[in-house]
Amino acid sequence: MHISLQSAIALATILLATTNASSSTSSYLPQASPAYLPKFSPSGVTKSWPPSNPSKLPSGPLSTASFSLKGYPTMNEVVANADKDPNIIPIMKKIDWNKVPKAPVTTSSTVVPKNDPYCWWTQGGCNKPKIKYIPRDIAICPTAGTWGLTYDDGPMYYWPVTKENAKWAEPNLYDYLLKHNNQKANLFYIGSKIVGAPAAAQRGLNDGHVICSHTWSHPSMTTLTNAEVVAEFYYSLRIIKEVLGITPRCWRPPYGDVDDRIRAIAWQMGMRTVIWDRDTNDWQINGDQVAPGPNAITYARANKTVANWIKSRNTGKDNSHGHIKAYKTMPATSCNNIAQPYWESKFIYPIQGKTAVGMDDKPTGVKAPRI
């Protein structure tokens, strides 16, 4: 089945569910926990999954307090002079650059060669790297009838543009998922947004959702230098660690803009790439539009897109990936049987299959509950 993208206002919803996903795991480059991150022990968040004492976790209205930017770059901007950043220089030295393809930094005029030597998703939809030492992108659920649920661009605490947009601020999404069958999802957090809404970020973890990185400032990653890419990953991982106490092993490229250069850097920094294959385009919604044009994306049009997908599946008109009429919803990591999506081993999430695997698709021996 497909992975569908819903974005900033509703965050990003990914739909995966399909047939066979196979990849060789014999020669993947080994990963290691990011030792370059400072040690943090935040309060107000669970230290394991399931929580050892859920009654002690915060409840009620979310705090509106923001996080101190001390030690972090400017919010919502690519890190300036990343190659001279004292936090980035040591990481650059640890990365094996012989294992990072020399794909060119892209621009708006870049055209991918016919053979696409660097598996650039933006122009060709490639999600199986041309290099053999990193795994395929997570792009489907191996079991038909499964909906891998994900949301991008959070945490969204308050959007002051319009009252309409404010309805999408946290904790509305979390409350909705809880009310509707206690659904769990992958939440792809932007580091800069955690600064503005740390309590909302913590609520996502405490509710049992699986947190992944969505970079520090949400840039098109293939347009960045190697040092800038490392900085985007580092500061995203750092603030997630400082606010939530976890170190994600999963990330999603903003706009889906990824190639093997970016994948290889992410992999060496401890993360696997997660992508999608359908887009609701709700990230294009302009909440202030008074008279939108005929092709403008509106709330109604985005909702209709999803309704049409469901209708196609229910009527058997969309069977490219073995669709069936009823779906199990779960995080994309769970339907791929990844029970430990963080480097912290005390977090063990339910999986769909019988055998828990790591980010390299190899069995881990971890006993995980089944969904």
Of the candidates 9, 2, 3, 4, the one whose C-alpha atom is nearest the C-alpha of residue 284 is 9
Q: What is the pLDDT of residue 319?
A: 52
Of the candidates 151, 183, 144, the one whose C-alpha atom is nearest the C-alpha of residue 1 is 144
Q: What is the pLDDT of residue 271?
A: 99
Amino acid symbol at 175: D
| Residue 125, token pair as written in the block | 């939809």
Q: What is the pLDDT of residue 61?
A: 87
Q: What is the mean pLDDT of each run of 10 residues along the chain (371 residues)?
A: 44 44 63 95 97 93 89 97 98 98 94 90 94 96 89 80 72 92 96 95 98 99 99 99 99 98 99 81 51 55 59 56 64 98 98 98 98 94
User: Domains along the chain?
Assistant: 4-335 (3.20.20.370)
Q: What is the pLDDT of residue 311?
A: 59
Residue 96 and residue 84: Cα distance in Å, rounded?
19
Residue 84 and residue 24: Cα distance in Å, rounded?
38
Residue 235 and residue 192: Cα distance in Å, rounded?
9
11 neighbors 187 (Cβ within 8 angstroms): yes
Amino acid symbol at 200: A
Q: What is the pLDDT of residue 306?
A: 55
Residue 143 and residue 145: Cα distance in Å, rounded?
6
H or E element that contains 4: strand 4-5
What 3-state DSSP class applies to 84? Answer: helix
Q: What is the pLDDT of residue 124?
A: 87
| Residue 310, token pair as written in the block | 């469901």
Q: What is the pLDDT of residue 221?
A: 99
3 neighbors 275 (Cβ within 8 angstroms): yes
pTM, to two decimals: 0.87
Residue 183 and residue 189: Cα distance in Å, rounded?
18
